[in-house]
Amino acid sequence: MNTSDSRRDFLKKSALLGSGLSLAASTSLKAFAEVAKSKNKLPAWKGFNLLDFFSHDPNGGRPTKPEYIQWIADWGFDFARIPISYPSYLDIDRSRPIRPDEVLNFDESRLEKVDELVERCISQGLHVSLNLHRAPGFCINAGFVEPYNLWKDQEALDAFCAHWDMWATRYNGISKKNLSFDLVNEPYQRADPNDQHSPGGPVDMLDYHRVAEAALGTIKSVKKSRLVIADGNGGGGIAMPELADLELAQSCRGYHPFPISHYKASWVYKDPSTVPPVDWPLQQVDKLLDIENIREYYAPWKTLIDQGIGVHCGECGCYNETPHDVFLSWFGDVLTVLKENGIGFGIWEFSGTFGVLNSGRKDVEYEDWYGEKLDRKFLDLLRSQI
């Protein structure tokens, strides 16, 4: 059977795949059983983001080796979020900015690559969260030219809904226990949407509600039972009671306080060399940030849970410039608070600068793991939460 036939076979039999594999079934049942133990309507899935399609260039992603997914499952994790830049699966001229008339030029061969990753994850018992990291008209990581603004332009919203209609139809046969949709990564409104360092803030909630409601309606029209998630406003961190009237779960972030999680990150700071050193607890002017401050940060998310809205932390972790001991001390507190609230998590990448493998930290004694550099202390900290 060739690759195309295999992908088509997966799409036809995906419902059977999700229920027929004992590992996948037992993991899903275990995950959903956790809901009964807490007020959180979402299972406390725990795992990683996989960045195969994170780049707009289909050759610029970070391929997930088959053994990575096997290790994730073997280590006891049950979640994979797949953030996707929508141009990565289009047939377009990549030598210039994308045009409005090109945003629906779906490339079947590239879509099949996404199918393959989804299939591999589900076959190992992982719940897959499919996310548009760059959507028509918006991406939190700017630096390229989008042809319109998702939050303001109807043409962009129409394209956004068309993409979700495509994904909802394509994966119609997959159970919500195995697959959810995360609408758009980290909504944020910049003065100049195409300038990474342009000032901005949370999206106007009327605009966010309009966009979320339209996409949700599109997805539910294809499969009413599909689980759909909306990322927190203002870059993911702001809970949204304003969306409580919609059938949406919400996704928070595990990056607070930002000076620790993104210490010296080049995409955040114009001149990382000027960033002051960090420690944990973190002294900021006249306030000491510690685990109690983290509890305060997640209080609005706990309120959503108490109101019956499911919450998951779709992204969390720490850039590799933060001193390792500071990172582990701080992140241990983050995980403690998430667990107190029954909130699962997805580390921002498995292998790379935020990952348990090959992070490039200069102050870690790595363990050789089948030729990969494993941060054993980080992995043990994560596994202690399972």
pLDDT confidence of residue 267: 87
Superfamily grouping for domain 40-384? Glycosidases (3.20.20.80)
Q: Which amino acid is at 188?
A: Y
The pTM for the full model equals: 0.91
pLDDT confidence of residue 60: 81
pLDDT confidence of residue 198: 87
Measured CA distances, 151 to 139, 158, 184, 202, 203 (Å):
11, 11, 11, 11, 7
CB 381 within 8 A of CB 338: no
pLDDT confidence of residue 34: 46
User: Is the predicted pLDDT of residue 28 greater than 60, yes or no?
Assistant: no
CB 58 within 8 A of CB 357: no
Higher pLDDT, 199 or 14: 199
DSSP 366: P
Q: Which of 142-146, 149-153, 315-319, 370-374 has the lowest mean pLDDT?
A: 142-146
Closest CA to 17 of 106, 148, 116: 116
- Where do the domains of the chain lie? 40-384
pLDDT one-digit tens code per residue, 163-208: 999 999 999 999 999 999 999 999 999 988 888 888 899 999 999 9
Closest CA to 312 of 226, 252, 255, 248: 252
Residue 62 pLDDT grade (very low, low, confident, very high; cuts 50, 70, 90): confident
pLDDT one-digit tens code per residue, 224-244: 999 999 999 999 999 999 999
pLDDT confidence of residue 344: 98
Q: Which of 13-17, 172-176, 322-326 has the lowest mean pLDDT?
A: 13-17
DSSP 274: G
pLDDT confidence of residue 13: 52
Q: Cα separation of 220 and 228, whole Å?
A: 9
Q: Which of 20-34, 83-97, 336-350 has the lowest mean pLDDT?
A: 20-34
User: Is the predicted pLDDT of residue 16 greater than 80, yes or no?
Assistant: no
Q: Cα separation of 366 and 55, whole Å?
A: 28
Measured CA distances, 142 to 149, 210, 328, 361 (Å):
12, 22, 30, 26
User: Is the predicted pLDDT of residue 21 greater than 90, yes or no?
Assistant: no
pLDDT confidence of residue 270: 86
pLDDT one-digit tens code per residue, 255-298: 999 999 999 999 888 899 999 999 999 999 889 999 999 999 99
User: Is the predicted pLDDT of residue 18 greater than 70, yes or no?
Assistant: no
pLDDT confidence of residue 2: 52
| Mean pLDDT (whole number) for 18-23 | 42
Tokens read off for 99: 């045009």
By residue count, the chain amounts to 386
pLDDT confidence of residue 144: 84
Q: What percent of the chain has pLDDT over 70?
A: 90
pLDDT confidence of residue 61: 80
Q: What percent of the chain has pLDDT over 90?
A: 83
State the chain's mean pLDDT as an integer: 92
Helix, strand, or coil (residue 77): coil
Q: Cα separation of 312 and 250, whole Å?
A: 7
pLDDT one-digit tens code per residue, 99-111: 999 999 999 999 9
pLDDT confidence of residue 59: 81
Closest CA to 322 of 260, 366, 374, 272: 260
CB 242 within 8 A of CB 235: no
